[in-house]
Every structure is written in C-alpha cells, then in structure tokens.
Amino acid sequence: MTNQMTFPILIRKAEAILSVSWRSVYEEKQKELTEMFAQYGDRAYGVWIQQFMAPVLEYFKEEGYHVKSGFNRTDSVEHWGPPEERERCIWYVVKHDDGTPAGTMVLQVYHSHIMLHFPRPPRLFPLETTEREQILAALSDATTRVRWDVTEERLPLPGGLPGQGPSWEYATDIALADCLRETHDGQLSSWTLDEALSHWGRYGWELISVAPSGRKLVAFFRRRLEA
C-alpha cells in the first residue's frame, strides 16, 4: 500500500493501464460484442466497460484504495454528441483504506448507437469532488470534459467504411453584441456588424445561428472541409 502519490498522478497511471486493456478486450471479444449489440443494443458497451475496467480497478486495490467494481449506470450521465459518437461519463469514487474519499475518477466512453463502434478511445480524468450533485455539476461544464492536454485519436469505422455526409468545421464569435451597441443618441447602426461578418465571409465561413448568452451574443459559423 502506498497512498502517497497525488490523485491526478494516480489517475494518470490508471489511464496507462486503460489504454492497453480497452483494446485487448475489444480485439479478443469483438465478435461476441458485435453479436451482443445486434441483439441487445447498448448493453454490449456495458459488458465491454466492465471487462476493460477490471485491471484498472485491480490497480487501485493494489495501491491500497477502494473503488466500487462493475459498471453502475446510475453513476453515469450521457448527454453529448450525435448518435454515431455519444459521450458517456461514468464516475468512480476512490477511497483510502480508512474509508475517506481521495477523489473521483471519471471514465469517458465514446460509442455509436448505430453499430458497435468506438469513435474515440476511452479516457480517464480526475475530479476533486466526491459528492453526486457536485460531480454532475462539474460534468455539465464542457471545460471539465474537453481534453486539451492530450492528442485526440480517432478510430476508423469497422471494415474501413468511410464516414457519411460532408465534413464541416465550426467556430464561434462570442462578442458579436459589441457591434450592436446604441450610439449616444440611441440609434443603432449596422455597419460595424457588416464589417465584423465580412471578415468571416472572406475566409469561407457561413453564419448559421446566433444565440444570446447573458449580455453577449454568440454567433455560430461553419465551413465545409475539402475532401
């Protein structure tokens, strides 16, 4: 038993184990999981998760920590992404051998509802909080889940099938409302808005929507990626 390393380092070491275990389970059980998905749908992912998380949880046990085993669906949330790439976050409260909480380990699983497919490898990250409502609040903040500290890896579709539909990239402007301020005499002018949008149009961006956010006006743009 060590219990000496910091919680983020503990999770980093666990993620190294995860990076091997998820692939090995999938390669060994691919046929079985595919047949299970065809018959039972998303239950196949639950079986996959339980199997590849087993060595991760064993690692915590060896280090002197206690983590509830298995996949408890109620300790997870899935709100994000298209059906081809849904993101589910599953959390595990990690406790010291005396029962006091050390932190929460969150597992991100990206999966398709269309076929048995994992668009991106699963990942782990730590949270300091161990209370359910605070965990949910943290996960509802996209900055908690979006990982800028690792290189994104995308996995090919089964059989090398190409993706469907055109590819787009997206961008936002969070200060468009600055162009809509009233002048000292209470008048509105559009020329500053025209000027701001012209810069986006010059590079092929298309304005697709705007939405208020407090006193800001967020503009959403997209442009088609060349094949």
Section 196-211 average pLDDT: 95
**Contact between 11 and 19 (Cβ < 8 Å):** no
Q: Determine the Cα–Cα distance for residues 104 and 193; give it in Å rounded to an integer.
A: 45
Alpha-carbon span 126 to 44, nearest angstrom: 26
Contacts 24+ apart (CB under 8 A), 162-165: none
Cα(194)–Cα(180) distance, rounded to whole angstroms?
11
How far apart CA 222 and CA 207 sit, in angstroms, is 7
Query: pLDDT digits over 98-115, tens only?
Result: 999 999 999 999 999 999
Q: Record the pTM.
A: 0.83
Which tokens in the block code for residue 214?
């407090």
Residue 107 burial (C-beta neighbours within 10 Å; 0-12, 13-18, 19+) = buried
Q: Which of 15, 8, 7 is nearest to 102 (CA)?
A: 7
Residue 1 banded pLDDT, cuts 50, 70, 90: very low
Q: Tell me the per-residue pLDDT of 27-51, one tens digit each, with 9 for 90 and over.
A: 999 999 999 999 999 999 999 999 9
